[in-house]
């Protein structure tokens, strides 16, 4: 049955409308802090797209012509929906045992070396059916929407063999059909060496390169390829091979870079023209300048630092001041970052990395959309763009991170449809 296009909606009288309009993408330096704020703002949407965004009084006449349903936004902030450009949405069970072990003094790497960590998630995932994985992910997606996120990147990475990695990507494809959110799939087969390949590293990588990447690309199950370049995961040379193979099959590289140790992965990202380099806790000053000269987006994921109790965060200020394109993401995953609340990420970005609230919001919307190759359609509220937005129950956008660890979102709209409304 053809679905009827959603009715035109008129979000009116917002205390602050954050358009994030204008400027070339990605936003760098001073431009990152420019939110295009309209006091008393309104947004008119129809057919899944934005018709106009500006002062409410200027939109009243066109809204009448479109017979748009008014949505009263007095005392509230209207902003683009969050684009969460780094998640590991598909996993089975949890890693609450690892959480307890860390509190009792073990480190992330010690837990992984003892068979916990990613290997634990891989064991759980191998036993889980597709319907089970889908049900858990759908429950999480509802929460993403309820916190104002409208698009998310989703990595595989707990399959660690051809069948299970494909299983994850097929679940993502099913979710695209059954969730209103937009999901962007990434193949992360080089996440950890599977236990049974412990003595045969090259054999695992050859399978990923010769069979999994071509199969995933042919079936259009992934848009991006990613790898975990670190001590205890994969070497720089191994990651280079995986990412270059992905590129040959049309998958754009992303990379878990400079997280636990300094590996040189940031340079690799620049050399390959990767879409993003993520984490970056241990990057050097020369690498900051290198990223600043490139179009690689520095995706910072401070919730993983927070949750692993690492005192050192990525050098956000130095990246911004050098002119790098900075984005923010949850890194939602069972091991290092079990939060899906982008509002909390803004708070961490402000308090732990000294990003301003405005910089954090731009990093979590327009720049994140750019890193996913979707900046012409997503990430700002401008005529012609997709109608993806969030209404926050605060009268000043800075109160989103200020009142931290709350959920301020009262309404979320995706492709012009209300997909979440509080009460
Ligand atoms: O982004 N660093 C590697 N990958 C994840 C953690 C995955 C896990 O521990 O399950 C991350 O932090
Ligand atoms: Fe990650």
Q: Give the pLDDT confidence of 326-358 residue by residue, as tens digits.
A: 999 999 999 999 999 999 999 999 999 999 999
Does 121 contact ligand 1 (Cβ within 6 A)?
yes
| Nearest ligand, CA 155 | 2
Checking if the pLDDT of 1 tops 60, the result is no
Distance from Cα 88 to the centre of ligand 2, integer Å: 6
pTM beyond 0.95, yes or no: yes
Ligand 1 atom closest to residue 230's alpha carbon, by position in its atom list: 2
Our mutation pick for probing the ligand 1 site, out of 113, 304, 335, counting the most ligand atoms within 8 A of Cβ, is 335
* C-alpha–C-alpha distance, residues 147 and 194, integer Å: 34
Distance from Cα 333 to the centre of ligand 1, integer Å: 7
Output the pLDDT for position 423: 81
Mean pLDDT of the region 15-22: 96
Does 46 contact ligand 1 (Cβ within 6 A)?
no
* C-alpha–C-alpha distance, residues 319 and 171, integer Å: 36
In percent, the amount of the chain with pLDDT more than 70 equals: 99
Does 164 contact ligand 1 (Cβ within 6 A)?
no
Does 338 contact ligand 1 (Cβ within 6 A)?
no
Ligand 1 atom closest to residue 158's alpha carbon, by position in its atom list: 10
Does 331 contact ligand 1 (Cβ within 6 A)?
yes
Residue nearest to atom 1 of ligand 1 (CA): 331
* C-alpha–C-alpha distance, residues 326 and 32, integer Å: 8
- Dihedral angle computed from the Cα positions of residues 9, 15, 17 and 23, in that order, rounded to the nearest 10 degrees: 160
| Nearest ligand, CA 258 | 1
Distance from Cα 373 to the centre of ligand 2, integer Å: 19
Distances (CA, A) of 199 to 117, 209, 240: 19, 18, 21
Binning pLDDT at 50, 70 and 90, where does residue 207 land? very high
Residue nearest to atom 3 of ligand 1 (CA): 228
Distance from Cα 224 to the centre of ligand 2, integer Å: 14
Checking if the pLDDT of 2 tops 70, the result is no
Output the pLDDT for position 92: 98
* C-alpha–C-alpha distance, residues 306 and 284, integer Å: 21
Checking if the pLDDT of 248 tops 60, the result is yes
Output the pLDDT for position 228: 98
Distance from Cα 60 to the centre of ligand 2, integer Å: 44
* C-alpha–C-alpha distance, residues 59 and 53, integer Å: 8
CA atoms within 13 A on the CB side of 387: 26
Output the pLDDT for position 270: 98
The closest of 223, 234, 156, 162 to 193, measured between CA atoms, is 234
Contacts of 266 (CB under 8 A, 6+ apart): 257, 258, 277, 280, 283, 287, 290, 291
Ligand 1 atom closest to residue 117's alpha carbon, by position in its atom list: 9
- 49: buried, middle or exposed (CB in 10 Å: 19+, 13-18, 0-12)? middle
Both tokens assigned to 214: 């071509």
Ligand 1 atom closest to residue 331's alpha carbon, by position in its atom list: 1
Contacts of 273 (CB under 8 A, 6+ apart): 253, 294, 295, 296
């Amino acid at each position: 049955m053809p679905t009827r296009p959603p009715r035109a909606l008129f979000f009116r009288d917002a205390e602050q409308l954050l358009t994030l309009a204008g400027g070339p993408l990605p936003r760098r330096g001073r431009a990152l802090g420019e939110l295009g704020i309209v006091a008393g703002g309104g947004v008119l949407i129809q057919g899944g797209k934005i018709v106009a965004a500006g002062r409410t009084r200027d939109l009243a006449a066109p809204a009448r012509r479109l017979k748009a349903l008014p949505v009263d936004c007095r005392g509230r902030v209207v902003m683009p929906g969050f684009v969460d450009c780094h998640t590991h949405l598909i996993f089975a069970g949890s890693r609450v045992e690892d959480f307890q072990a860390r509190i009792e003094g073990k480190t992330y790497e010690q837990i992984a070396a003892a068979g916990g960590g990613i290997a634990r998630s891989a064991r759980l995932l191998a036993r889980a059916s597709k319907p089970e994985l889908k049900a858990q992910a759908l429950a999480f997606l509802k929460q993403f929407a309820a916190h104002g996120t409208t698009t998310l990147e989703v990595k595989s990475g707990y399959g660690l063999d051809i069948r299970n990695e494909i299983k994850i990507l097929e679940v993502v494809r099913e979710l695209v059909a059954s969730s209103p959110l937009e999901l962007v799939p990434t193949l992360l087969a080089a996440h950890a060496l599977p236990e049974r390949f412990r003595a045969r590293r090259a054999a695992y990588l050859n399978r990923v390169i010769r069979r999994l990447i071509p199969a995933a690309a042919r079936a259009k199950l992934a848009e991006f390829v990613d790898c975990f370049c670190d001590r205890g995961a994969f070497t720089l040379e191994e990651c280079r091979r995986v990412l270059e193979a992905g590129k040959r099959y049309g998958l754009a590289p992303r990379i878990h870079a400079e997280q636990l140790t300094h590996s040189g992965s940031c340079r690799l990202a620049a050399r390959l023209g990767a879409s993003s380099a993520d984490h970056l806790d241990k990057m050097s000053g020369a690498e900051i300048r290198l990223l600043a000269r490139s179009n690689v987006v520095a995706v910072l994921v401070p919730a993983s630092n927070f949750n692993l109790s690492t005192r050192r965060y990525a050098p956000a200020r130095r990246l911004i001041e050098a002119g790098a394109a900075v984005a923010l993401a949850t890194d939602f995953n069972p091991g290092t970052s079990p939060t899906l609340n982008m509002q909390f990420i803004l708070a961490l970005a402000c308090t732990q990395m000294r990003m301003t609230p405005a910089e954090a919001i731009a990093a979590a919307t327009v720049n994140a959309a750019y890193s996913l190759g979707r900046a012409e359609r997503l990430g700002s509220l401008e005529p012609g763009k997709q109608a993806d937005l969030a209404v926050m129950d605060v009268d000043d956008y800075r109160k989103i991170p200020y009142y931290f660890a709350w959920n301020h979102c009262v309404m979320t709209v995706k492709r012009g449809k209300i997909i979440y409304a509080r009460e």
